[in-house]
Amino acid sequence: MRVEQKKSSQGGSAYGGEEKKIEPFIEPQPMGKIFLLMGLAVASSLLFWLAWDNAIVTGLTFTFSWENILIVLSTLLAMCLMFTLIAMAEIVITNKWYLFIMAIVSAGTLFVFFPPSLWSFVAFMLVVLSFMYWKRQIRVDEDSRTKFLPQKIINNGLRLAVTLVLLAACFSYFSFLTTRPNAEQQTLDGLTSQGSQVVEGVLDLYYQDEFDPEMSLDDFLTNVTFAVGEKISAEGIKVETGNESLDNALGDAITEGISVVEQEFVDQTRESFANSFEIEVDGSESMSEVIDLIVVKNISQFLDPYIKFIPALLAVGLFFLLNIFGFIYRELIKSFSFLLFHILKWIKFIYIKKIQIEAEKVSLEE
């Protein structure tokens, strides 16, 4: 026969002992560690905006170079580091006011490199919104889990947070394009430089050894129109009459005649070339100068009426270009966060404690 055990009137267990109460987990929050995490987050934000400003000022060229690779990698790694340290602070620090101050100061570091304006202020607000939204999503996910998984927690809300920061970066880029002195002229110069590099790359790929940016226009026209004739002129014409002096004289005369014919044809070709592109050249200009003249002519002809819209189009295009690779940024951020979390745990900067929690269960009533 089973005997039902009853709880004591004092709330003890069926065996007479007192029921063990679940103690709330009160996270230790040393001020030194709080300020260290906040300082690292702000410093990483400053580093990101420094890298972004350097990328904008230096500019990227349409060529494969170590400078381009270094600019892209440094900016990408700086952004991932910023998100990693922000995430760690948002996970560990429980005081909402500290996190709010951290978000404001971190976002405000962009004003160090981008002067205050309407568009830089919009960028600032977007960064603050990104960090605060991400903090809320992290906190909700963290509170709902029974096991701490840093990558899973950080991933919650990360997509929108990264998108907002990328949008802020493009607004700061638009601010840079529109607030600097002689903004329209500098935008036009930038387009000319990029266009010239593209044209030089195409010519170099197509003509290879026959093209060099530093060669003169006449040399280039000679290379592409008189490759065979040039070889004959360079080697000279050998005539054998039995008289050495007569042979040399006839050879020189024929070579000089070919050179005159070549030059005449080059002059005609240059004139036709100049008329086609509506530029003025005398043949002594380097190919890079000629390409600049052509690009400036075409940009001025077709883009002058729309030059004020170019910065907006560049900023929008840059946003979509950056957003295409969003999955790469997110995976790097999660990987860096996982690595940083284990480093902090290894050096005993943070720790994980298992606690008991109260949970509601449903059943049938007797």
Paired tokens of 361? 């269960």
Q: Hunting for tokens 């709902």 — which residue is that?
A: 144
Domain check: are 35 and 161 in the same one?
Answer: yes
The reported pLDDT for the residue numbered 251 is 53
The reported pTM is 0.70
Domain check: are 315 and 176 in the same one?
Answer: yes
**Rounded to whole angstroms, how far apart are CA atoms 248 and 243?**
9
**Rounded to whole angstroms, how far apart are CA atoms 266 and 88?**
68
Specify if 209 maps to a domain: no
Task: Give the largest Cα separation in the chain, rounded.
Answer: 141
**Rounded to whole angstroms, how far apart are CA atoms 326 and 318?**
13
Domain check: are 58 and 170 in the same one?
Answer: yes
Query: Is residue 174 within 8 Å of 311, Cβ to Cβ?
Result: yes
Domain check: are 165 and 82 in the same one?
Answer: yes
Length of the chain: 366
Q: Tell me the pLDDT tens digit for each residue of 212-261.
A: 778 887 777 777 765 544 444 444 455 455 545 545 555 555 555 556 66
Domain check: are 223 and 321 in the same one?
Answer: no
Domain extent, residue 124, equals 31-181+311-346
Cβ-count burial 211-236 (b if 16+ within 10 Å, e if not): bbbeebbbbbbbbeebeeebeebeee
Radius of gyration over every alpha carbon of the chain, rounded to an integer in angstroms: 35
Ramachandran class of 156: left when φ > 0, alpha when ψ lies in -120 to 50, beta otherwise? beta
CB hemisphere CA count around 24 (13 angstroms):
3
Domain check: are 135 and 275 in the same one?
Answer: no
The reported pLDDT for the residue numbered 43 is 95
Q: Tell me the pLDDT tens digit for each residue of 59-88.
A: 765 555 677 788 889 999 999 999 999 998
Specify if 341 maps to a domain: yes
The reported pLDDT for the residue numbered 189 is 67
Domain check: are 104 and 163 in the same one?
Answer: yes
Count of H helices and E strands in the chain? Answer: 13, 0
The reported pLDDT for the residue numbered 282 is 77
**Rounded to whole angstroms, how far apart are CA atoms 214 and 338?**
51
Number of domains in the chain: 2
Tens-binned pLDDT, residue by residue, of the chain (366 aa): 444 444 444 444 444 444 455 555 556 678 888 899 999 999 999 999 999 999 888 876 555 567 778 888 999 999 999 999 999 898 888 888 999 999 999 999 999 999 888 999 999 999 999 999 999 998 887 777 767 777 788 888 899 999 999 999 999 998 888 887 665 666 666 677 777 777 777 777 777 777 777 888 777 777 776 554 444 444 445 545 554 554 555 555 555 555 666 667 677 777 777 777 777 777 777 888 888 888 777 776 676 667 777 788 888 988 998 889 888 989 999 899 889 988 988 888 877 777 666 666 676 776
**Rounded to whole angstroms, how far apart are CA atoms 273 and 267?**
10
Q: Hunting for tokens 């830089």 — which residue is that?
A: 120
Domain check: are 177 and 232 in the same one?
Answer: no
Please classify residue 340 by burial: count the beta carbons closer than 10 Å to its beta carbon, then call 0-12 exposed, 13-18 middle and 19+ buried: middle
Domain check: are 51 and 148 in the same one?
Answer: yes
Domain check: are 48 and 172 in the same one?
Answer: yes
DSSP-assigned states of every residue in 155-176? HTTHHHHHHHHHHHHHHHHHHH
The reported pLDDT for the residue numbered 227 is 53
**Rounded to whole angstroms, how far apart are CA atoms 120 and 169?**
9
DSSP state of 283: S
Q: Three-state secondary structure along 46-72?
A: HHHHHHHHHHHHHCCCCCCCHHHHHHH
Domain check: are 176 and 246 in the same one?
Answer: no
The reported pLDDT for the residue numbered 10 is 46
The reported pLDDT for the residue numbered 257 is 56
Cβ-count burial 113-132 (b if 16+ within 10 Å, e if not): bbeebebbeebbebbbbbbb
Strand-pairing partners, residue 18, are 12
Question: Strand, helix or coil at 205?
Answer: helix
